[in-house]
Amino acid sequence: MSTVIWEQDGGVGRITLNRPETINAWTAEFGKELVDIVESAAADDSVRAVLITGAGRGFSSGADLKAGFEPHPDDQMPDVRKELHLYHGAITGIRRMPKPVVAAVHGAAVGIGCSLALACDLVLAAESSFFGLAFVNIGLMPDGGSTLFVPTAVGKARAFQMALLGERVSAQQALEWGLVNFVHPDEHIRAEADVLIEKLANGPTRSYAGTKEALNRMLYPQMDDQLALEADIQHALARSKDFFEGVGAFVEKRQPAFTGR
């Protein structure tokens, strides 16, 4: 079964993250399928607007820590840089796609799952949803573009708060901070998303494309450099003792004992 599902109805394309047993956690296979869809099917001119949702009880819980990372051939340590470079195709593809991309978030949008949601042009959130840069809880730093998308949306103080404390941000708080555009009752989120994406698909596509290009130039002029920097720092952190302690504590459901090494 595909880990990412693509459906098209007229000018509307729908991407469904489809690893519900893990709350749509990311693996290399998942990332490759997502990138393939973003760069091919979703990029087709017949698609005028794209909606991204998650199957099951959440949008995405971030990287699949239990699945682990492919080892680097030189030292057998996690090759996080390679995996992030793969994932970046989805993030940059969404940002540069000359059409509106909407995220409809329910449940968790955490880690790179949060990054994916924030990479979209508009974000709808269910009342029960929450967002978080939980990387710090396992000794890592935000990636997937979060160090770009979050401060641009919420400013310095709240960006540092999210990144350093790793706390959950509720849907209502996310709305107040400017992380999301709309909050709807859980039972209405899909219907509201369908109404919005249909409206966008029937709108002035060239106007949307021009607006998106200009706003990207203003807001994210160094996106590629920032993603590369995140990958380099994350790659080094994934070789730290704190990271292995953080993952061990996560799997064992205990508090980590970080040493700064």
* Tokens standing for residue 124: 């709808």
**Does the residue 198 lie in any domain?**
no
Distance CA 27, CA 68 (A): 8
Instruction: Determine if residue 56 is left, alpha or beta; phi over 0 gives left, psi from -120 to 50 gives alpha, anything else beta.
Output: left
Residue 177 CB neighbour total at 10 angstroms: 18
Cβ-in-10-Å burial (0-12, 13-18, 19+) of 186 comes to middle
Closest CA to 133 of 119, 148, 150, 120: 150
Residue 231 located in a structural domain: no
∠ CA 149-117-248, nearest 5°, is: 90
- Asked if residue 213 belongs to a domain, the reply is no
Tally of CB atoms within 10 A around 185:
10
pTM of the model: 0.95
Per-residue DSSP letters for 192-217? HHHHHHHHHHTS-HHHHHHHHHHHHH
pLDDT in tens, 60-98: 999 998 777 777 777 778 889 999 999 999 999 999 999
CATH number at residue 176: 3.90.226.10
Which residues span the domain enclosing 105?
4-187
Q: Residue 121 pLDDT > 90, yes or no?
A: yes
Token couple for 111: 């880690």
Domain-located, residue 219: no
Q: What is the pLDDT of residue 241?
A: 95
Residues contacting 186, CB < 8 A, separation 6+: 106, 126, 127, 128
Q: Where residue 16 falls among pLDDT bands split at 50, 70, 90?
A: very high
3-state class percentages of the chain: helix first, strand second, coil last, to nearest 5? 50, 15, 35
pLDDT in tens, 160-194: 999 999 999 999 999 999 999 999 999 999 999 99
Residue 34 burial (CB count, 10 A)? 26
Q: What is the mean pLDDT of residues 111-122?
A: 98
Residues 205-228 pLDDT 10s: 999 999 999 999 999 999 999 999
What is the phi-psi region of residue 72: left when phi exceeds 0, alpha when psi lies from -120 to 50, beta otherwise?
A: beta
Assign 117 to helix, strand or coil.
helix
Burial of 197-217, coded b for 16+ CB within 10 Å and e otherwise, reads bbebbeeebeebeeebeeeee
Q: Is residue 232 situated within a structural domain?
A: no
Question: With 0-12 CB in 10 A as exposed, 13-18 as middle and 19+ as buried, what is 141?
Answer: middle
Compute φ and ψ for 11, nearest 5 degrees. Answer: -90, 0
The confidence score (pLDDT) of residue 1 equals 63
Residue 248 located in a structural domain: no
Number of structural domains (the chain) is: 1
Cα 234 to Cα 144: distance, rounded to the nearest angstrom: 10
> Is 44 a domain residue?
yes
In-domain check, residue 36: yes
